[in-house]
Amino acid sequence: MRLGRRRVRPRAVLLAIGIAGLASLLGAALRALPPSGSGASAYGDLLVARSVPERRAQDVVAAVNFDYRGFDTIGEEFILFAAVVGVLTILRRRDDEEDVTARDEDASAARAPPPTSGAVRVLGAGLAGATVCFGLYMATHGQVSPGGGFQGGVVLATAPLATYLAMEVSVFEKIAPRWLIALGEGAGAAGFVALGFLGLLAGRAFLENVLPLGEAGDVLSSGTILAANVAVALEVAAGLVLLLAAFLAEALHRRLRRGAR
Amino acid sequence: MTTLLSHLPWAVAAWLLACGLYGVATSRNLVHLVVCLSVLQSSTYLVLLGVGWRTGATAPVVVAGAPPSAGPVADPIVQALMLTDVVVGATVTALLLALAVQVHERAGTLDPERLRRLRG
Amino acid sequence: MIDLLRAAALRLAAAAGAGVVATRDPLAQAMVVSFLGIVLALLFLLYQAPDVALSQVVVGAVALPLMILLTLAKVRRDAEEQRRAGARPRTGT
């Protein structure tokens, strides 16, 4: 331990020098920045003026995310997809690990956590139902009011979480089986890309808004923005539930095989 | 007040950057390190917030049928950038935490000082 | 009036960020980072960015502390197992 502390000293000096240099550069940069509140870009003003007449979308940020700059959102969704794949790969069951089964002495009934009380279970079930409603509302109303696919998807993902917290992990695994959730995530990611190809099939650009636009203020409006919202909500919700399931399985069900090391 | 407010976002962003950097460099626990990294990332949210803001602006939600807002509107492009920033920050943090779990399993410790040897 | 709120929220965010770094124990840090997430969401709301505020609330106050707690649960379980396995070193060569 003493050796570690002695070795930290030169590193702390280097850190101080580095932070001093960074601070001076930052200070100079911040002095040169225009004051906050002085202005946005002309692009932003243009989009705010054109979003309703061109796309019938009231929420300009959703229009920017899924229509005007939709290609960037495809990239962002694939970052999410790749991160979920990465976590599932890192936390996979290796050759020297095994799952704790019901027959092990570790998992006997005497060592199981006590079941939660009835009040908590009822509250959890009610909360899960309300959360699903709210998540679906937010995901489908992205073009009408603040919200959208990503926010609604994360809210949807908290519904299985609420059931896990209020009940046991076995209930969570029963309502959210791995294969179904993985299918949902793939469908969401592929659905967004398929939406882009819809534009190509209609003879126009990739990801161009080719579905009927409807009336501004309706849920069924702004063409592909609604469909993209739903696809993204599906992908994000399924991805987050997969992450949760992977971490839970790793924490609760996995252990090193006896005699592996 | 307005002069203070026009420079405060930059100052807070620089402060968060410095805090996060100090936390990452002097951390003795990998999970603590990952959380400090997310603090570092939140400094970028503040810079974007300050860039897209216009004094007296309203949210970029245009309600059709209502009288058009006479004043300035906050920049929707920069807000879309912030949204992407938040999403990507969360996913990268998840990946790093999974890595921390594996490091602990293989090396038995979460202390970056004690993780010395690189094993193939 | 709202400008006062904005300045106060900015200062609160700075304090919360410093608090996250100063909290060395990861379990306590999960709570402080959840607080930082909520303060940032409030800040985004005050700066007229409702979409971003919604995302920040669900990510910073729900998803992030959840992942930290699950990581800590797994690490604690592993440490207990290693202690039970006795003197057999896990690092190997």
Domain boundaries, chain B: 1-12+28-55+71-113
C76 found inside a domain: yes
- Counting the structural domains of chain A, the total is 2
C89 found inside a domain: no
DSSP calls for A152-218: HHHHHHHHHHHHHHHS-HHHHHHHS-HHHHHHHHHHHHHHHHHHHHHHHHTTS-TT---S----TTS
A23 and A48: one domain?
Answer: no
CATH code for residues B1-12+28-55+71-113? 1.10.287
Sequence-ordered alpha helix ranges (H) in chain B: 2-25, 30-52, 76-107
List the one residue out of A172, A176, A149 whose CA is nearest residue A162.
A172
Mutate to test the interface with B, among A60, A67, A68, A71 (most CBs of B within 10 A): A60
In this predicted structure, the answer to whether residue B55 has a pLDDT above a threshold of 70 is yes
C91 found inside a domain: no
C36 found inside a domain: yes
A131 found inside a domain: yes
Q: Which domain holds residue C55?
A: 2-84
A73 and A116: one domain?
Answer: yes
Q: What is the reported pLDDT for A249?
A: 83
Q: Which domain holds residue A24?
A: 1-33
Closest-CA residue of chain B to C57: B86
A261 found inside a domain: no
- Counting the structural domains of chain C, the total is 1
Task: State the ipTM, two decimals.
Answer: 0.88
Residue with the bigger pLDDT between A102 and A134: it is A134
CA atoms B107, B108, B110, B116: torsion sign:
negative
pLDDT band at residue A110 using 50, 70 and 90 as cut-offs: low
pTM: 0.87
Helices and strands in chain C, H and E counts: 4, 0
Closest-CA residue of chain B to C79: B108
Chain B, window 21-60: residues with a beta carbon less than 8 angstroms from a chain C beta carbon = 22-23, 28-29, 31-32, 34-36, 38-39, 42-43, 45-46, 49, 52-53, 57-60
A126 and A101: one domain?
Answer: yes
Residue with the bigger pLDDT between C58 and A96: it is C58
- Find the largest Cα–Cα distance for chain C: 64
In this predicted structure, the answer to whether residue B35 has a pLDDT above a threshold of 90 is yes
A162 and A144: one domain?
Answer: yes
Closest-CA residue of chain B to A15: B25
C90/A154 Cβ within 8 A: no
In this predicted structure, the answer to whether residue A111 has a pLDDT above a threshold of 80 is no
- pLDDT tens-place string over residues A210-232: 787 777 777 777 788 889 999 99
